[in-house]
A and B are shown apart, each in its own frame.
Chain A
């Protein structure tokens, strides 16, 4: 079996009209932005993605219990229970509280430790003030990360259109991943923020490969696109394979009954999976589309080929 179907790539590159194909990622981006806008307007926190416990303050407890989520809610009705639900299969339950007074925190943790300390108990608690500071930090981190990436891309290519194409593709990847978080109910946690930052750095890998190949190599354009696509698809598919393994193993007892859900691994893998799926579309439709249009119109490829060559000879 072949990983890369060369004929399919051949057909794709030959038959497609890149002006028409840009419509697909454009619609995808528009829909993603709409989802984010809708969430921003309708969510109680007015944020484009649902904020997890770490960004709202409060306490989350995860443990095994034969009781139903409703029963658990009743058991802890004296405290501000935000949600109680099944968690990753089996008897696993999640019980989440909103911000509480210091004394309530102590009471709740005492109660839970006396009843469930032998039930694979996990507790996480975050103060309200700090969690709000964390929101700002996360936002700044994502902006800084994206700007930094953009600057690096401009420094690498030093031409406007190709650099912008890379940045747009990366932007569309992140927006899609964030929109999918909304669709699948994945909250923003430290893990998902890390994954989004990772995605910013990661998703431009294939774009850089593509742009370098097209601008700095000699040869027929569609041949270069085909070659880049072969390499790029291999890259994305290997990474996806690894991420799917991580996602399945960290999702809970669906596959193997003794497995338990590992939030941070699951969060990171699921966001990267969505991001990389978007990356396939945005690299091989958006970025290729823009670059093809740019090269066919301007013909600047020759200059791009000459320059690095001269430099190399000089050294």
Chain B
């Protein structure tokens, strides 16, 4: 070994040292608002912090179907017009023409929602109806009517729909059978867009609770995982599962307000850009709602002095919007109940965001798809901190016991110390990794780290015994060849662990994903970074001490 650089200058060892230092830095130093802060950056899961979690399943299906659109029009209008003798006359790319023996009007046909119609008198006394509609839409409408659910077209894919309801493939086939149709592809779940929409609405609802950070994670195609620090399981379930209570109140005097109407009297429209670039959300009141608003406006004087009697919108008793009646509206409402209104949010991007949010509030936080709570849990904060302390103690005791066992076997500090330090450095690097990717440390993840340390020590023992076969540090050439053999065993063993753990990545709705990811990442870190460095270190340590430490057995 003469003339060679010492082990601590070898690239593999340097790499390990750099990664350890980087991991420590990542774990302890944070940079916020131009300030460097030192403190633990580790994030803990709810089972260590206290709080509750919900696993939500979004009910829906993505389907690709086909059916005969003529049959659909025929069966649907037979039902709608109560006429068994609907006859399809003609179909083109974007229209369908049929006749009915019944007398009807364009308004009635249009209200069925199958498309814009033109009506003419049929020669035999009935009505000839021409619908402006394409097959995609006909099918969508058919599913909507027969499933009694919201159906969304998936853009860019012909005859592909999202059904926002729990439905099975068989049920769907049964519905399509009378119109010569069938399901071509069926997948439970919802589209990414719907998932994001649901997530956004939940986030807004949770924001109203004043939680500063609400991690909602998506798992697979149709699961959401919500962690709610410091909230009990009942509150959590209520927020997620139930729509809120929407109410409009009117300002009487100062802070004093009176009830006007509830969300049940109101149908929200879409956020839109009004004249003069200002954003707003339209909404429609039913007759009772419109009357209530008019009465309240007159009773409390909003018609004469709108500025002093603002309308206030509340969701679950939190104010989400307030504004005075516009002068026009104040004037009109005196004479006649107004049903269509717009809540204005101002101009610019910010106003657009506000309009989107307000629309969600108007829907009383109703989610686009049905959401089932499939799993839930709660850990009190005190219990969480007990767990944290206890796991730390367990880790320390495990490390001490491992140290004792390893010392009993090898006895030489220049094997035992590098071995334990390597193992410990693997822990540091894994923790650094969790901070870097924003991973939460929860109990399963910590169990994963401990498991990795277990395999790690095993591999270090393999390296040591393989290299020191016969008890002495061999010359460099033999050392290299033995190391290759050792790593052949280690890589094989690591490969089996990786393969065996991989099912956990997708299993259990993500519950054990942390465990699986940490095990896999930990094994990779160990095999490619820590263990090669260990091999260099013991070679260096033992060569340096070669004059006194060999316990030969040959």
Binding site for B on A (CB under 8 A): 1-4, 102, 105-106, 109-110, 113, 117-127, 129-130, 134, 137-138, 140-142, 144-146, 148-149, 151-153, 156, 190-191, 193-194, 197-198, 200-202, 204-205, 208-209, 212, 216-217, 227, 230-231, 234-235, 237-239, 241-246, 248-250, 258-260, 262, 264-265, 268, 272, 312
B501 x A197 contact (CB < 8 A): yes
CB distance from A134 to the nearest CB of B (A): 6
A-B contact number at CB 8 A? 238
Q: Which residues on the A side are within 8 Å of B233 (C-beta)? A: 109, 113, 123, 125
Task: List A contacts of B461 (CB < 8 A).
Answer: 231, 234-235, 238
For B234, the chain A residues whose CB sits under 8 A away are 106, 109-110, 113
B264 in the interface, Cβ–Cβ < 8 Å?
Answer: no
On whether the beta carbons of A312 and B481 are closer than 8 Å, the reply is yes
Report whether B401 and A208 are in contact in the complex, using a CB–CB cutoff of 8 Å: no
Question: From residue A24, how far is it (CB to closest CB) to chain B in Å?
Answer: 24
- A249 adjacent to B447 (CB under 8 Å): no
- Which of B372, B399, B451 has the most chain A CB within a 10 Å cutoff? B451
B406 vs chain A, min Cβ distance (A): 6
Contact indicator A201/B498 (Cβ below 8 Å)? yes
Q: Are A194 and B382 in contact (CB under 8 A)?
A: no
Query: Which of A145, A258, A264 has a CB less than 8 Å from the CB of B386?
Result: A258
A178 to chain B, nearest CB (A): 15
CA–CA, A209 and B379, complex, Å: 42
Asked whether, in the complex, the Cβ of B457 is within 8 Å of the Cβ of A238, the reply is yes
CB proximity of A229 to chain B, nearest CB, Å: 11
Which residues of the partner chain B approach A124 to less than 8 Å between Cβ atoms? 375-377
A264 CB → nearest B CB, Å: 5
Selected from A129, A235, A245, the residue in CB contact (under 8 A) with B458 is: A235
CB-based contact A249/B493 at 8 Å: no
In the complex, chain B residues whose CB is within 8 Å of the CB of A193: 507-508, 512
Query: When the two chains form their complex, are residues A194 and B444 in contact, meaning their CB atoms are under 8 A apart?
Result: yes
Which chain B residue has the least Cβ–Cβ distance from A125?
B376
Chain A residue at minimal CB-CB distance from B233: A109
Give min CB distance, B61 to chain A, whole Å. Answer: 15
Assess whether B465 is in contact with A194, with CB atoms less than 8 Å apart. no
Q: Which 3 A-B pairs give the minimum distances between C-beta atoms?
A: A201-B500, A201-B497, A141-B503
Q: Which of A3, A242, A258 contacts B450 (CB 8 A)?
A: A242
- Main SS class of interface, A: helix
**A134 B405 Cβ-Cβ under 8 A:** no
Q: Is the CB of A262 within 8 A of B401?
A: no
B397 interfacial by beta-carbon distance below 8 Å: yes
**CA–CA, A118 and B381, complex, Å:** 9
Q: List 16 A-B contacts (CB under 8 A).
A: A106-B234, A121-B379, A125-B377, A127-B373, A140-B503, A148-B502, A194-B516, A197-B501, A202-B454, A238-B461, A242-B457, A243-B398, A249-B391, A260-B387, A260-B390, A312-B481
B395-426 interface (Cβ within 8 A of A): 397-402, 404-406, 408-409
A198 to B375, Cβ gap below 8 A? no
Which residues from chain B contact A235 at a C-beta distance below 8 Å? 457-458, 461-462
Contact B465 A268, beta carbon cutoff 8 Å? no
Take A194-B504, A202-B455, A262-B443 as given contacts and tell me if A208 and B497 are in contact as well, using a CB distance cutoff of 8 Å: no
Query: Do A152 and B495 form a contact, CB below 8 Å, given A120-B380, A259-B390?
Result: yes
Contact A237-B405, Cβ < 8 Å, known A122-B379, A265-B394: yes
Residues of B within 8 A of A208 (CB): 489, 492-493, 496
Given the complex of chains A and B, what is the CA–CA distance between A204 and B500 in angstroms? 11
A205, B455: Cβ atoms closer than 8 Å: yes
CA distance A306 to B373 in the complex (A): 61
**Cβ of B405 and Cβ of A238 under 8 Å apart?**
yes
Residues of the A chain whose Cβ atoms lie less than 8 Å from the Cβ of B450: 242, 246
B 229-273 to A, binary, CB cutoff 8 A, 1 in contact else 0: 000111001000100000000000000000000000000000000
A1 and B508 in contact, given A156-B492, A208-B489 (Cβ under 8 angstroms): no
Say yes or no: B455 contacts A212, CB within 8 Å: no
Instruction: Choose among B55, B391, B455 the residue that contacts A265 (Cβ–Cβ < 8 A).
Output: B391
List which B32-89 residues lie within 8 A (CB) of chain A: 52, 55, 57
Among B399, B458, B519, contact of A198 (Cβ-Cβ < 8 Å): B519
Residues on B lying within 8 angstroms of A by beta carbon are: 52, 55, 57, 232-234, 237, 241, 372-380, 382-383, 386-387, 390-391, 393-394, 397-402, 404-406, 408-409, 443-444, 446-447, 450-451, 453-455, 457-458, 461-462, 465-466, 469, 481, 484-485, 488-489, 492-493, 495-504, 507-509, 511-512, 515-516, 519
In the bound assembly, the distance between CA atoms of A315 and B416 in angstroms comes to 33
With contact pairs A120-B383, A194-B515, A234-B461 given, residues A262 and B391 touching in the complex (Cβ less than 8 Å): yes
Chain B contacts for A227, CB-based, 8 A: 465, 469
Known A198-B500, A265-B443, A265-B447; judge A245-B409 contact (CB<8 A): no
Asked whether B380 lies within 8 Å of A130 as measured between CB atoms, the reply is no
- CB <8 Å contact, A209 and B489: yes
Docked complex Cα distance between A293 and B293 (Å): 93
- The smallest beta-carbon distance between A124 and chain B, in angstroms, is 5
Q: State in angstroms the CA–CA spacing of A184 and B250 once bound together.
A: 66
A148: contacting residue among B375, B481, B484, B500, CB under 8 A: B500
**Do B397 and A249 touch across chains, with their CB atoms under 8 A apart?**
yes
Could you tell me if A130 and B509 are in contact, using CB atoms closer than 8 angstroms?
A: yes
Q: Report chain B residues within 8 Å CB of A249.
A: 390-391, 393-394, 397
Q: Whose C-beta in chain B lies nearest to the C-beta of A267?
A: B447
Additional A-B contact list (17), CB under 8 Å, known A130-B375, A193-B512, A242-B453:
A3-B409, A105-B237, A123-B233, A134-B508, A138-B507, A145-B501, A146-B500, A190-B511, A201-B498, A201-B501, A208-B496, A212-B492, A234-B461, A239-B457, A262-B387, A264-B447, A268-B451
Asked if A239 contacts B376 (CB within 8 A), the reply is no
B515 to chain A, nearest CB (A): 5
Docked pose: A123 CA to B228 CA in angstroms: 14
Give the distance in Å from the alpha carbon of A33 to the alpha carbon of B534 in the complex.
Answer: 42
In the complex the two chains form, what is the Cα distance from A219 to B383 in whole Å? 57
| A134, B462: Cα distance in complex, Å | 37
* B479 CB, nearest partner CB in chain A, Å: 14
A120 and B382 contact, Cβ closer than 8 Å, known pairs A241-B402, A246-B450, A312-B484? yes
- CB <8 Å contact, B465 and A231: yes
B457 touches A144 (CB 8 A): no
Nearest A-chain residue to B400, judged by Cβ: A245
For the complex formed, measure the closest distance between the CB of B509 and the CB atoms of chain A, giving whole angstroms.
7
User: Are B458 and A127 in touch, CB under 8 angstroms?
Assistant: no
- Cβ-defined contact, B409 with A234, below 8 A: yes
Q: Smallest CB-CB separation from B399: which chain A residue? A: A242
Does the CB pair A4–B409 fall under 8 Å?
yes
User: CB-nearest residue of chain B relative to A142?
Assistant: B503
Considering only CB atoms, which chain B residue lies closest to A228 in the complex?
A: B465
CA–CA, A131 and B516, complex, Å: 20
Chain A residues whose C-beta falls within 8 Å of the C-beta of B376 in the assembled complex: 123-125
Question: From residue B548, how far is it (CB to closest CB) to chain A in Å?
Answer: 20
Shortest beta-carbon distance, A76 to chain B, in Å? 16
